[in-house]
């Protein structure tokens, strides 16, 4: 799988920055309060709003990112194009566009909602828990990537077949297959049947 390393030096202070608040939600996705980001992820986890973005090139290849080694949660593993959490009161769509630009230096084209999925995924390495109500988005990459090395270790565009091969030998984030499977109908609509998603 061809990949592009991020070459700038990292001076990340992830996990030690100012307090970040997440929206806590009920099982229907209704906001019920806020919690500090790290505390919301500590076992057993608190259900909170999140988003996941899947961007594709003109050939129907999915853009993956390997999370930077300085990340406090799931460092060094491969995952979908971008994921994160809206700020309290921020729409998931706006948050998805914002974080894609912050992490990868691009503004996605044709970004569209692709449903929601609720899951509970413990991370055995960190002991943290992803207890999330996740808003899914699909779109296109039509400009050069400029990844932030504090967020992204490397990037790669993969076909469906290449992804299956990579998954057998490379670590992926605990949530990746859950969000990918939930987004597949919208991915197929965006990329067409020839892409094989």
Catalytic-role residue among 23, 82, 83, 151? 83
Q: Is 83 a catalytic residue?
A: yes
Q: Is 111 exposed, middle or buried (0-12, 13-18, 19+ CB in 10 A)?
A: middle
Question: CA distances (Å), 73 to each of 33, 42, 109, in order?
Answer: 22, 11, 28
B/e letters for 133-156, b = 16+ CB within 10 Å, e = fewer, are: bbbbbbbbbeeebebbbbbbbbbb
Q: Is 19 a catalytic residue?
A: no
Lookup result for tokens 């960190």: 126
Side-chain half-sphere CA neighbours of 149 within 13 A: 8
196: its two tokens: 């094989």
Catalytic-role residue among 23, 130, 132, 150? 132
Side-chain half-sphere CA neighbours of 89 within 13 A: 0
> CA 173, CA 75: separation in Å to the nearest integer?
9
Catalytic (active-site) positions? 83, 132
């Amino acid at each position: 799988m061809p990949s592009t390393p991020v070459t700038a030096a990292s001076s990340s202070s992830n996990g030690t920055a100012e307090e970040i608040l997440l929206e806590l939600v009920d099982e229907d996705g209704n906001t019920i309060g806020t919690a500090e980001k790290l505390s919301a992820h500590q076992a057993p986890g608190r259900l909170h709003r999140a988003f996941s973005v899947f961007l594709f090139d003109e050939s129907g290849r999915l853009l993956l990112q390997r999370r930077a080694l300085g990340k406090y949660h799931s460092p060094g593993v491969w995952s979908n194009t971008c994921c994160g959490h809206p700020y309290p009161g921020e729409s998931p769509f706006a948050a998805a566009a914002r974080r894609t630009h912050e992490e990868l230096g691009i503004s996605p084209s044709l970004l569209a909602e692709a449903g929601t999925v609720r899951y509970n995924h413990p991370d055995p390495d960190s002991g943290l828990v992803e207890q999330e109500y996740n808003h899914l988005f699909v779109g296109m990459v039509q400009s050069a990537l400029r990844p932030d090395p504090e967020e992204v270790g490397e990037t790669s565009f993969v076909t469906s077949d290449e992804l299956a091969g990579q998954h057998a030998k490379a670590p992926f984030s605990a949530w990746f297959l859950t969000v990918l499977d939930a987004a597949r109908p919208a991915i197929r609509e965006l990329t067409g049947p020839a892409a094989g998603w």
